[in-house]
Amino acid sequence: MSQSVSVVGLRKSYGSDADPLAVLEDVSFDVTAGEFVAIVGPSGCGKTTLLKSIAGIVDTDSGEIVTGQGPVTGPSDEIAMVFQDFRLLPWKTVLENVVMGLDIQPDRSDREAEGVAREWIETVGLAGSEQSYPSELSGGMKQRVGLARALAVDPDILLMDEPFGSLDAQTRDRLQTELLQLWNSEQTTILFVTHDISEAIYLADRILVISSKPATITAEFEVNLQRPRWGRRVEIEGSNEFERLRNRLRKKLGLTVER
């Protein structure tokens, strides 16, 4: 079951009280249940801090984050996060890494946890690699493990922090399509941070633009492209609407508008 997210007046600084570094400044936005929202902005602007705050793994200075279950006060199995750097434990197998995400659900037996993990490993296309270690996997395979681990806990909200940014173009395109298919079947609420404007347009229902530090939301854009989008990528990326939206986003981010 997906959930809504409401972020209201979020502020976060690092450093000492005498010399604070403001990272987030009055960040506010809403995400409806089941919506796919992308967040774009300059490198180092605080996008990761924002996701970690929503996940409940970073304390904020002020403001409120509320989901359909109430205020976020810490980590929970309702919210899962996928990182760009995979975060796999190198001494654990693929199966063990995915099962690890289920350890926070004490009402599930070890056998049940393994069964769920195996199902998601198969779903993300890694059947047969259960006993492999991260050092034996390609970057795309590692990211699949990270995605399986996050989805295995059946989260209502999935946070993704530039999950495909370090992958080659072919692997990135393939995983983008697989993510859309999974989202279409699961209808999980997704917040997806990326620096790639085209990726944001292809994936999202709506795109939020975040400023440089101290970060705040400066604009939002609706993506009026028909779904489902997989199998129609060339058509979509060649459309006038795609080009129009890409140029509007580039202009908002202070980039050169493509002709």
pLDDT confidence tier of residue 137, bands split at 50, 70 and 90: very high
Q: Over the stretch 92-102, which tens digit does the pLDDT of each residue have?
A: 999 999 998 78
pTM: predicted TM-score of the whole model, two decimal places: 0.91
Confidence of residue 104 (pLDDT cuts 50, 70, 90): low
pLDDT at 38: 97
Band of residue 165 on the pLDDT scale cut at 50, 70, 90: confident
Look at phi and psi of residue 56 and say left if phi exceeds 0, alpha if psi is from -120 to 50, else beta: left
Let me know: does 228 contact 184? Beta carbons within 8 Å. Answer: yes
Instruction: pLDDT band for 15, please (50, 70, 90 cuts).
Output: confident
Q: Beta 157-161 vs 217-222: how paired, if at all?
A: unpaired
Q: Is the dihedral of CA 83, 139, 201, 203 positive or negative?
A: negative
How far apart, in whole angstroms, are the C-alpha atoms of residue 139 and residue 185? Answer: 25
Q: Could you tell me the domains of the chain?
A: 1-78+157-259 (3.40.50.300), 87-154 (no CATH)
